[in-house]
Amino acid sequence: MAEAAAEGRPFSAQAYRLTKGAHMAEFMYSRRFYNNPLIRRMIRFSRNAVDVRDSLTDRRICGQSLSKFVPAVAAGATGSQSTPYSVLDTVFRSAEFSEDNAFLDIGCGNGRVLAFLIKKKVPCPLTGIELNPEVAAVGQAWTKRYPNAAVICGDVFDIDLNRYDVFFMSRPFEPDLFSRFLQKLEREVHHRITLYYWVDQQSGQLLHNRPGWIMHERKILFFRRGFFIAMTPQQYSVWTYLPHEA
């Protein structure tokens, strides 16, 4: 497009649409856009619509809605908020699971990610661990109907991480606690693992230039399938950890 302009040739209609779309996307991801009071009301309405849509999917899989937010119960932990299905579709779009894998959702809340993977017919054992007993009880109740899914009520610092090779987290820790978690993970795991990290803006930087860690994908999400999926743009990343290269 820059070459066409330099040579005095007009932009094609397609080039114009792409340029216009890029400018619009840049504006939508700016604080000027999403901090506007009127826009925030629109985004909140859109988020509520996403929750309604996702709750319908929850009920088909779990028999109940999993959308309720629950505040944190421990220092260094974060509150429990279910990740939208449209986000999970994007985060896991390149994932390939076999029966030999073992999946762990750290800070699984009510188990939305497990529900998503069940919906996708993932064949491997699916485990979530949740610190809040009240929230974990919800996941434990509905996963009983699925033989390859389970929710543990407990602290991830008390379990053996070497049992798993695929991990998901949606910012369950503040940065200091995430740093401690990485130390535990690297100390215990002796095989290749994959980490899907949703909302990695604060802690994801701790993985950069860390021995053994390779980032495969990073993307910002805000607007999916006609709806805003969060009150502000959020970021995810996909990593592998190779212990022998650490």
As for how many domains the chain has, the answer is 2
- Picking from 46-60, 70-84, 85-99, 150-164, which range would have the lowest pLDDT averaged per residue? 70-84
Full residue range of the structural domain in which residue 22 is found: 2-34
Place 14 in a pLDDT band, splitting at 50, 70 and 90.
Answer: very low
Are residues 61 and 108 both part of a single domain?
Answer: yes
**Cβ neighbours of residue 137 closer than 8 Å, sequence gap 6 or more:** 153
pLDDT recorded at residue 27: 76
Place 7 in a pLDDT band, splitting at 50, 70 and 90.
Answer: very low
Are residues 157 and 182 both part of a single domain?
Answer: yes
pTM exceeds 0.95 for this model: no
Pairing of strands 193-198, 227-228: unpaired
For the segment 205-230, what is each residue's pLDDT rounded down to a tens digit?
999 999 999 999 999 999 888 899 99
Are residues 10 and 114 both part of a single domain?
Answer: no
Place 26 in a pLDDT band, splitting at 50, 70 and 90.
Answer: confident
Are residues 205 and 152 both part of a single domain?
Answer: yes
Are residues 14 and 114 both part of a single domain?
Answer: no
Place 24 in a pLDDT band, splitting at 50, 70 and 90.
Answer: low
Q: What is the mean pLDDT of residues 156-161?
A: 98
DSSP per-residue letters across the chain: -HHHHHTTPPPPHHHHHHHHHHHHHHHHTSHHHHTSHHHHHHHHHHHHHHHHHHHHHHHHHHSS-----B---STTB--B-PPPHHHHHHHTTT----TT--EEEET-TTTHHHHHHHHTT--S-EEEEES-HHHHHHHHHHHTT-TTEEEEES-GGGS-GGG-SEEEEES-B-HHHHHHHHHHHHHH--S-EEEEEES-TTTGGGGTT-TTEEEEEEEEESEETTEE-SSS-EEEEEEEE-GGG-
Are residues 122 and 16 both part of a single domain?
Answer: no
pLDDT recorded at residue 15: 37
CATH of the domain at 126: 3.40.50.150
Place 13 in a pLDDT band, splitting at 50, 70 and 90.
Answer: very low
DSSP per-residue letters across 165-176: SEEEEES-B-HH
Mean confidence (pLDDT) of the chain: 88
pLDDT recorded at residue 73: 54
Q: What is the mean pLDDT of residues 29-47?
A: 92
Are residues 87 and 165 both part of a single domain?
Answer: yes
For the segment 69-127, what is each residue's pLDDT rounded down to a tens digit?
665 555 555 556 799 999 999 999 999 999 999 999 999 999 999 999 999 999 999 99
Are residues 43 and 158 both part of a single domain?
Answer: yes
Are residues 180 and 81 both part of a single domain?
Answer: yes
Are residues 118 and 178 both part of a single domain?
Answer: yes
Smallest CA-to-CA distance from 241 within 200, 153, 182, 179 is with 182
Tell me if 220 sits within 8 A of 192, measured CB to CB: no
Q: What is the mean pLDDT of residues 138-160?
A: 97
CB atoms within 10 A of CB 206: 16
What is the torsional sign of CA 240, 243, 244, 246?
positive
Are residues 8 and 65 both part of a single domain?
Answer: no
Are residues 115 and 209 both part of a single domain?
Answer: yes
Q: How far is it, in rounded angstroms, from Cα 76 to Cα 95?
A: 29
Residue 246 has pLDDT above 80, yes or no: no
